[in-house]
Amino acid sequence: MIEKINRANPAKIGIYIVSIAALLFIPFLGGVHLFDWDEINFAEAAREMIVTGDYLTVHINFQPFWEKPPLFIWMQVLSMKLFGINEFAARFPNAVCGIVTLPILFAMGRKIRDNFFGLLWVIAYAGSVLPFFYFKSGIIDPWFNLFIFLGVWFLMLYAFRENQHKLRNIILSAAFAGLAVLTKGPVGFLLIALTGGVFLLWVRFKVKVRVKDVITYFAVLALVGGSWFILQILNGHLDTVVEFIVYQVRLFRTQDAGHGGFFGYHFVVLLVGVFPSSILALKAFGKEPGNETFYPFAKKWMVILFWVVLILFSIVKTKIVHYSSLTYFPLTFLAAAFVYHAHKKTIRWSRWMSVLIIVLSVLLALPVMLLQFIDKYKHEIISRDLIHDPFAVENLKADVRWMGFEFLPGLLFLLAIIFIFTRIKKTAPVKRALFLWGTTLAFTLSVLLLLVPRIEKYSQNALIEFFKSKAGEDVYIKNLYFRSYATYFYGETQPTDNPNFYDDDWLLTGDIDKDVYFVTKIHRAEQLDKYDDLEETGRKNGFVFYIRKAKNPKP
């Protein structure tokens, strides 16, 4: 069977991969509201580009937003032009990224070894929890990571002594580095440079580097990656560029509110989030037998990339799950490498791997199985005062319709894991790994379809439905004492010529020209008691809603 795969037409395999990826990533993209902060943040920036017609500057709340360059926002704008301003359109660019990424991995794997290795890499990536999940999201990282990885890939090809296309590879590496910078900022180039720098140290600078190639690299990088910054400066927006750079520096030096964590945070995230590939990859980090030339060279780059990303973002004080998502490429590469070698009987499937996979399976499945039962007994949980966060208590009171079978993904997942390790022998590593990846993919997809929409009902649905109810009304909408981008996106806010709008004190006490709707969280509500002309209009699931009516409304 494997020999047949290796003899198959790679173009035909690529078409199959694209078709399956489209079926996996496109359906149900709009099945749940966008999540605060990141998903709504980027979608709102795209909406405001469409509203203002200003496609050069990124805005949030119709003020310059200097945290992100515009490339991903432009992708969402194009999607919204095609599908309308909605959740499906906001997430569609990442579905496209998934459809593009998987055949790219196949082509890379095939170049490193053969069709079989390429397919293993594809399945390892699609069959791991977070790598699959992110292609169904509206966050910026899938495209950002792909551009960085391609930048590393072509730099690796440039450094390979037997490669004959050095100029082409250095241009492509620089171009993709530039696209990464345009997607999320200079950290895209930094990761590529650090990976290349560590490789040079590893090989003691025994790489032939031509001066003209270095000049070409930085020229292309400046042309592609610096294009937006240059346009901003030429349009008189130097302050936006300066603020952008200051923000990037601050991310490395300080902890963003609500995004802290311990040093080993990303180790835990990757171990659980890239299940099961994270476990399969562990045995491939060490030295492997064989007399290949390109594979060990490529593996060296993969290991370097993994540690560069993991160490860098462990040092960075701001800890967010997707900061380490670039490591999904080397991790799944190493998982595929383990299965490939295990098939050739040069590496054995160890018992500790099976034990660790079973333990993590239980940790993943149990919350899924228990969620609907927590809802069933929530009144008892609340009455016994087991939860000491008043906002979380009110969240739990949300009226969510459970069908009664939502525990099945977790149960079936555990049963499948038991089947895999009792019925498939470790002497059949390919079959065992394929069942593991396939089971995890089905589990992840079922959780996305059955559990995530219900979880969203508890967390933010009341807030979003409130904002949606005010969309189109000629009023001001404001969230107080907490951060949310849902105010703008789902409230469909429009630009205003009134500078007082950005002053909370004016909205709360000033001579407002139209009604203002406020929302805050329940544990912050007492801070608004001192405002006599605020009228509470309702409370729902931890959120408190108010109106302040204009005494002299604008005609």
- Whether 516 has a pLDDT exceeding 80, the answer reads yes
Q: What is the per-residue pLDDT for 498?
A: 86
Q: What is the per-residue pLDDT for 15?
A: 97
**Rounded to two decimals, what is the model's pTM?**
0.94
Q: What is the per-residue pLDDT for 553?
A: 67
Hey, is 290 helix, strand or coil?
coil
Q: What is the per-residue pLDDT for 258?
A: 53
Query: What is the per-residue pLDDT across 238-256, written as a single tens digit (0 to 9) for each?
Result: 777 777 777 767 666 665 5
Hey, is 433 helix, strand or coil?
helix
Q: Mean pLDDT across the chain, nearest whole number?
A: 92
- Whether 106 has a pLDDT exceeding 60, the answer reads yes
Q: Are 458 and 541 in contact (CB under 8 A)?
A: yes
Q: How confident is the model at residue 130 (pLDDT cuts 50, 70, 90)?
A: very high
Of 429, 437, 449, nearest in space to 413 by CA: 437
- Whether 436 has a pLDDT exceeding 60, the answer reads yes
HSE toward the beta carbon, residue 178, CA cutoff 13 A: 20
Question: Who wins on pLDDT, 388 or 33?
Answer: 33
DSSP per position, 367-413: HHHHHHHHHHTHHHHHHTT----HHHHHHHT------S-TTHHHHHH
CB atoms within 10 A of CB 373: 12
Average pLDDT (208-229) is: 93
Q: How confident is the model at residue 489 (pLDDT cuts 50, 70, 90)?
A: very high
Query: What is the per-residue pLDDT across 344-390, written as a single tens digit (0 to 9) for each?
Result: 989 999 999 999 999 999 999 999 999 888 888 888 888 888 888 89
Q: What is the CA radius of gyration of the chain?
A: 26
How many Å apart are CA 86 and CA 71, to the nearest integer? 19
Question: Who wins on pLDDT, 257 or 245?
Answer: 245
Q: Are 480 and 520 in contact (CB under 8 A)?
A: yes
- Whether 237 has a pLDDT exceeding 80, the answer reads no
Q: Are 276 and 268 in contact (CB under 8 A)?
A: no
Average pLDDT (96-117) is: 97
Spans of all domains in the chain: 2-343, 351-459, 461-548
Q: What is the per-residue pLDDT for 555?
A: 59
Q: How confident is the model at residue 507 (pLDDT cuts 50, 70, 90)?
A: very high
Query: What is the per-residue pLDDT across 380-434, written as a single tens digit (0 to 9) for each?
Result: 888 888 888 899 998 998 989 999 899 999 999 999 999 999 999 999 999 999 9
Q: Which of 53-62, 93-102, 192-201, 311-320 has the lowest mean pLDDT?
A: 311-320
Amino acid at site 21: A
Q: What is the per-residue pLDDT for 554?
A: 66
Q: What is the per-residue pLDDT for 260?
A: 62
Amino acid at site 411: L
How many Å apart are CA 58 and CA 92, to the nearest integer? 20
- Whether 451 has a pLDDT exceeding 80, the answer reads yes
Query: What is the per-residue pLDDT across 39-91, written as a single tens digit (0 to 9) for each?
Result: 999 999 999 999 999 999 899 999 988 788 999 999 999 999 999 999 999 99
Give 455's contacts (C-beta < 8 A, 6+ positions apart): 371
Hey, is 479 helix, strand or coil?
strand
Give 148's contacts (C-beta < 8 A, 6+ positions apart): 176, 177, 180, 188, 191, 192, 326
Q: How confident is the model at residue 257 (pLDDT cuts 50, 70, 90)?
A: very low
- Whether 262 has a pLDDT exceeding 70, the answer reads yes
How many Å apart are CA 533 and CA 546, to the nearest integer? 10
Number of alpha helices (DSSP H) and beta strands (DSSP E) in the chain = 26, 6
- Whether 3 has a pLDDT exceeding 90, the answer reads no
Q: What is the per-residue pLDDT for 52?
A: 95
Average pLDDT (140-155) is: 98
Give 129's contacts (C-beta < 8 A, 6+ positions apart): 272, 273, 274, 275, 364, 440, 444
Give the strands of the sheet with 543-548, arranged side by side: 476-479, 516-521, 543-548, 535-540
Integer CA distances (angstroms), 121 to 144, 359, 360, in order? 20, 24, 21
How many Å apart are CA 455 and CA 139, to the nearest integer? 19
